Amino acid sequence: MYIPPDMGDVYDFPEEEMVNQNIFDDHFCETLALECPFISHFVIQEMGEYFNREELKPIVTFTDRGLMALTKLKFLRSLQLRSINCTGKGVLEFLNAQSKEFTGNRTFEITVGGSPVDSRLTFYDVVKELLVQLAEASDLPCASRKFALRLENWSYNSRFSVDPAWSEAYFRDLNTLMNRVKDMYPSLRQHVVTMDRSGDSFSRIAEFGLYSVHMQREIYCCWEDWEEEGKNEGITIVDREDLLDDDRNIEDDVSGYEDENWYLDGDFYDGEGESDIDSEYFEDDSDFEM
């Protein structure tokens, strides 16, 4: 269970990073897979995301090689990664390389991009490359697996907006590629969450989703803006309201912590009994092939 220091007082967060995030590199992933082969849930999360949204940087040492190392975790069910330095090609190779020994549901939430200028368009490049790779693939093992991928844009948190003319051209290309993938792989579904969209123009894209019809829908339909995905016949595009104003200051971001008992009202895993995330997956042993 995580309780923010002094109920989230922003001044209790260090002004400088206290941990070198680049230690979570490809070698770290390779060592993890070698020494802990039965890991089923793996999370690298940024706890002070909104307090630090103007300085968010990807883990540049965590590349496609690190993702491929994690495919050695044969029973990995849930993966959540704060921004890493991967490519669209690497993401697809990661999906296709998942072990056949585990036949249950898998969820992958991978964040890309960041606040630095050279990271702001990374998400858009990764999504486009992933779709190109999908459209050109001659063999796609992941299409028959139970998985849901959520590619999230960390530049979305920094309030970075793209040029309107650029967004229109990108959105048209995105639609063309998504329709190619839809026609080639009827078992795959695609999901896009835009911000401030009008026609083909948008201010930013928050996330891109890719999943198979074999995946248990109750798992991904609880995600924000995925509530109607059970009705998706190929492609869905939804627009998300901007909840944080661009001129909102950092003190405003802690307003959710004003009630000192706020954390007692939520559904948190306290280490006793079975957690909610485990109960989604561990209903029986039928997901394993012997």
Residue 258 forms part of a structural domain: no
Residue 267 forms part of a structural domain: no
Please give the structure tokens belonging to residue 56: 């968010």
Structural domain total, the chain: 1
Residue 257 forms part of a structural domain: no
Q: Which domain holds residue 178?
A: 10-240
Residue 263 forms part of a structural domain: no
Residue 112 forms part of a structural domain: yes
Cα 98 to the chain's mean position, in Å? 17
Residue 195 vs residues 162, 201, 221, 240: alpha-carbon distances, Å: 11, 10, 20, 5
Nearest-angstrom CA–CA distance, 111 and 115:
13
Amino acid at 114: G
- End-to-end C-alpha distance for the chain, whole angstroms: 35
- pLDDT value for 54: 66
Residue 42 forms part of a structural domain: yes
- pLDDT value for 243: 60
Residue 254 forms part of a structural domain: no
Cβ proximity of 180 and 140 under 8 Å? no
Beta strands 106-112 and 147-153 are: parallel
Strand ranges, E, within the chain: 41-44, 78-81, 106-112, 147-153, 188-195, 204-212, 235-240
**φ, ψ for residue 287 (rounded to 5)?**
-80, -5
Nearest-angstrom CA–CA distance, 240 and 229:
15
Amino acid at 61: T
Residue 193 forms part of a structural domain: yes
Sign of CA dihedral 201, 207, 208, 212: negative
- pLDDT value for 50: 61
Nearest-angstrom CA–CA distance, 65 and 25:
9
Q: Record the pTM.
A: 0.78
**φ, ψ for residue 161 (rounded to 5)?**
-115, 140
Kindly state the helix (H) or strand (E) to which residue 142 belongs, with its residue range.
none
Nearest-angstrom CA–CA distance, 70 and 78:
11
Sign of CA dihedral 193, 194, 195, 198: negative
Q: What is the pLDDT along the chain (290 residues), one digit of tens a residue?
A: 344 555 555 555 555 556 788 899 999 999 999 999 999 999 998 776 666 666 778 999 999 999 999 999 999 999 999 999 999 999 999 999 999 989 999 999 999 988 777 778 999 999 999 999 999 998 999 999 999 999 999 876 556 789 999 999 999 999 999 999 999 999 999 999 999 899 999 999 999 999 999 999 888 888 888 887 777 889 999 998 766 554 444 444 444 434 434 333 443 333 344 434 444 444 445 555 54
**φ, ψ for residue 56 (rounded to 5)?**
-70, 125
Cβ proximity of 15 and 51 under 8 Å? no
**φ, ψ for residue 205 (rounded to 5)?**
-110, 130
Q: What angle do CA 224, 278, 148 make, to 5 degrees?
A: 45
Nearest-angstrom CA–CA distance, 235 and 44:
29
